[in-house]
Homo-oligomer: A and B are copies of this chain.
Amino acid sequence: MLASQQVRQNIRQGIFTQPTAGAAPGFVQANLVVLPKSLAADFMLFCQRNPKPCPLLSISDPGSTFFPGYGDDLDIRTDIPRYRVWRNGELIDEVSNVTTYWRDDLISFAIGCSFSFEEALVAEGLDVRHISCASNVPMYRSNISTQSAGPFHGPLVVSMRPFKPADAIRAIQLTSKFPSVHGAPVHIGDASQIGISDLSKPDFGEPVEVRAGELPVFWACGVTPQAVLMASKPEFCITHAPGYMLVTDKLNAHLAII
């Protein structure tokens, strides 16, 4: 049994209930968004227009509970430790499975997650600060607009990782190989240029220290689609809870384009 299958089985049985960072190393973890078919076309368009924050790994058939090629036994309704259920933009429930909320008109989106490229950075010996500090990555609403589609619009949310300049160059090279999990950074250096006034006060996650001689490096972040989605107040929506991702059978290494 693959490590990813084991993790999903443990999640399904209620044995694994924690955030999924570090679970099943080497396997792709994904952001989940589930929407009624009536909203899915606009959301698909939004993702297509904003591939850096919203890299689409897979889209389910309507009502289907799995992502073809991402795990034969994968069940979208039960295989994430913590889901969030939303109505009209309000969080109405946080649950360990969404079987009772399931509808035949739901379409699910698996969106790439930075865990995949962070694994490549760590493997290269780079100090990924929030990992070495065991905290959440700091994320910020930038002043960069996404391209809107239907009701979906809003600012690009970026994640920040500080590096020494030579490591920043290496991080740019490495993440360029992974366009389906946010790819290369969108900004480097002066945070105020993208509308961030105080790095010590992230909008999501926790702050990390930017040490003397380091440059903050900013990547498009998978929180963008969730923030945009909530702001548009869809009548119904299911997402993963932050940090509780969908563990798939796809290998991170297979996402590398070169």
Q: In the bound complex, how far is the Cα of B173 from the Cα of A258, in angstroms?
A: 13
Is A166 at the interface (CB under 8 A from chain B)?
yes
Residues 208-258 of A contacting B (Cβ, < 8 Å): 213, 215, 258
Q: In the bound complex, how far is the Cα of B95 from the Cα of A87, in angstroms?
A: 80
Q: Is the CB of B190 within 8 A of A188?
A: no
Residues of B with C-beta under 8 A to A168: 188
Q: Is the CB of B165 within 8 A of A193?
A: yes
Is A187 at the interface (CB under 8 A from chain B)?
yes
Instruction: Give which listed residue, B166, B172, B185, B193, contacts A186 with CB less than 8 A.
Output: B166
Q: Which of A172, A187, A213, A258 has the most CB of B within 10 A?
A: A172
Which B residue sits closest to A214, measured CB to CB?
B189
Is A184 at the interface (CB under 8 A from chain B)?
yes
Instruction: Give which listed residue, B165, B184, B193, contacts A188 with CB less than 8 A.
Output: B165
Residues of B with C-beta under 8 A to A190: 165, 213
Instruction: Give which listed residue, B165, B172, B193, B213, contacts A169 with CB less than 8 A.
Output: B172
Q: In the bound complex, how far is the Cα of B173 from the Cα of A184, in angstroms?
A: 9
Is A176 at the interface (CB under 8 A from chain B)?
yes
Q: In the bound complex, how far is the Cα of B174 from the Cα of A184, in angstroms?
A: 12
Q: Is the CB of A169 within 8 A of B189?
A: no
Q: In the bound complex, how far is the Cα of B187 from the Cα of A100, in angstroms?
A: 54
Q: Is the CB of B186 within 8 A of A215?
A: no
**Shortest CB distance A258–B (Å):** 5
Q: In the bound complex, how far is the Cα of B218 from the Cα of A166, in angstroms?
A: 10
Q: In the bound complex, how far is the Cα of B189 from the Cα of A232, in angstroms?
A: 39
Interface pairs A-B: 8 shortest CB-CB: A172-B172, A165-B188, A165-B187, A189-B215, A173-B176, A165-B189, A258-B258, A169-B172
9 A-B pairs (CB sep. < 8 Å): A165-B193, A166-B187, A169-B172, A169-B185, A173-B173, A176-B176, A188-B188, A189-B189, A190-B213
